[in-house]
Amino acid sequence: MKKQAFNPYLPSWEYVPDGEPYVFDGRVYVYGSHDRFNGYVYCMNDYVCWSAPVEDLSDWRYEGVIYQKIDDPFNPDGSMCLYAPDVTKGPDGRYYLFYVLDKKSCVSVAVCDSPAGKYTFYGYVHYEDGTLLGERKGDEPQFDPGVITEGEVTYLYTGFCPAGDKSRSGPMVTVLGPDMLTIRKAPAFIAPSQPYSQGSGYEGHEFFEAPSIRKVGDMYYFIYSSVVFHELCYATSPYPDKGFQFGGVIISNNDLHIASYKPAEKPMYYGGNNHGSMVEIQGKWYIFYHRQTNGTSFSRQAMAEEIEILPDGKIPQVEMTSCGLNGGPLLGKGEYPAYIACNLFCDTESTYTGGIAGNGFWLDSRFPRITQDGRDGDTELGYIMNMTDSSTCGFKYFDCQGVRAVSLQVRGYCKGVFEVKTKWDGQVLAEFPVDYTNVWKEYTADVAIPDGIQSLYFTFRGFGGAALKSFCLL
């Protein structure tokens, strides 16, 4: 690779959640919704696309705006948001973008001759008599389309099933003909919602939203966000439209259920909803997902981790890391931005980040958060702010060889010390005294980081709230 790959893998000022990754003609393309920095609801911006060559997952290219909110005939004033989309290559070789507007229960489709050109509105998924999917009597609401095309047939997966809602039966699959719009086979449910899951094997991880589909060999993998909210789960079947059996959790965006480096049910990041899918790149499989930033649910960023599909088809849950698509640990030398923290927490535990309260959104001032200066679209480097007493940021993993000092870039109205550790609850290896400053100031301390693959944790102890821009291994 030209350079190292980090998480998030896109620039720190870009907010593309709900990622659906695909390989087309030697490049990885990621399609998702588009959040706004300091947004007050989900998905406020138009769709954009990013891509990278399969041989260099550090080299992401901005493909520009591929579809605007006002391109849909139901949304001429842009008052509705574009929710999570998916893309498939149709039988005619063109690329089809499936999506749902936030206030409409029907599936819209746009089309383009290339993976990341400007998509144009194409039509709405409908029955043979012209009735839109979602509007026929007995139809359940359409949401979060996921698609896969095989020959002349496209399978469309949709659904949104909050826990306890008996009016929602589960995720559904609808079979479309070669025109990509006309229904050949009406919706059929492939997994249970929470009220109807007893004895199904899905108990505790029932479908909530974010249906996605991939095929691995002869097996179909149905990836979805469960009622647990912060996790992506999977189910498998030899058929695209029936027989899906629960498989497990692939990723949690606060690392719950992971016991490899901390207690299994201890949250290590301020999580929230999750949405993503799998892709094979150069013989390796990856899960793409997102994290929450800025202390709210509405500024989410694209993340990815390498996964392993075992011979029996199982996928072990993987940790959130800072090195994501890098193919291994980061070099234990040089400067790293603080926004690549994969762990962020304080002594007051919270599974979730801020959210909606009343008519607006709220920030929990107790917790540190990843943010940026400027406005949405400004290319300002991200950093961590509001690191009050006990706030900890963690970075995984580094191949450390001969590290004898560490420097930090800090600002803020704070007075105390930053501790350096190689485990979240490990021995303090060094302390950096820091003081009040309204500009970024560098602090350096001698510290002997043990050689080998290491995590790095920085904990603030003191008064006020510190901001951390970067650290450098020397």
Question: Which amino acid is present at 235?
Answer: A
What SS3 string covers the chain?
A: CCCCCCCCCCCCCCCCCCCEEEEECCEEEEECCCCCCCCCCCCCCCEEEEEEECCCCCCCEEEEEEECHHHCCCCCCCCCCECCCEEEECCCCCEEEEECECCCCCCEEEEECCCCCCCEEEEECECCCCCECCCCCCCCCCCCCEEEEECCEEEEEECCCCCCCCCCCCCEEEEECCCCCEEEEEEEECCCCHHHCCCCCCCCCCEEEEEEEEEECCEEEEEEEECCCCEEEEEEECCCCCCCEEEEEEEECCCCCCCCCCCCCCCCCCECCCCCEEEEECCEEEEEEEEECCCCCCCEEEEEEEECCCCCCCCCCCCCCCCHHHCCCEECCEEEEHHHCCEEECCCCCCECCCEECCEECCCCCCCEEECCCCCCCCCCCEEEEECCCCEEEEEEEEECCCCEEEEEEEECEEEEEEEECCCCCCCCEEEEECCEEEEEEEEEECCCCCEEEEEEEEEEEEECEEEEEEEEC
Catalytic residue, chosen from 18, 86, 231, 305, is: 18
Q: Which residues are registered as beta bridge partners of 465?
A: none
Length of the chain: 474
**Closest C-alpha to 369, from 348, 345, 402, 349:** 345
Whether 380 sits among the annotated catalytic residues: the reply is: no
CA atoms of 111 and 275, how far apart (whole Å): 23
Task: Please choose, from the candidates 164, 170, 140, the residue with its C-alpha nearest in 3D space to the C-alpha of residue 235.
Answer: 170
State the Cα–Cα distance between residues 220 and 190, nearest whole angstrom: 12
CA distance 289 to 7: 11
Judge contact between 232 and 250, C-beta under 8 A: yes
Is 63 one of the catalytic residues?
Answer: no
Report the alpha-carbon distance of residue 389 to residue 418 in Å, rounded. Answer: 10
Catalytic site residue from 71, 72, 140, 209: 209
Which residues does the annotation mark as catalytic? 18, 209
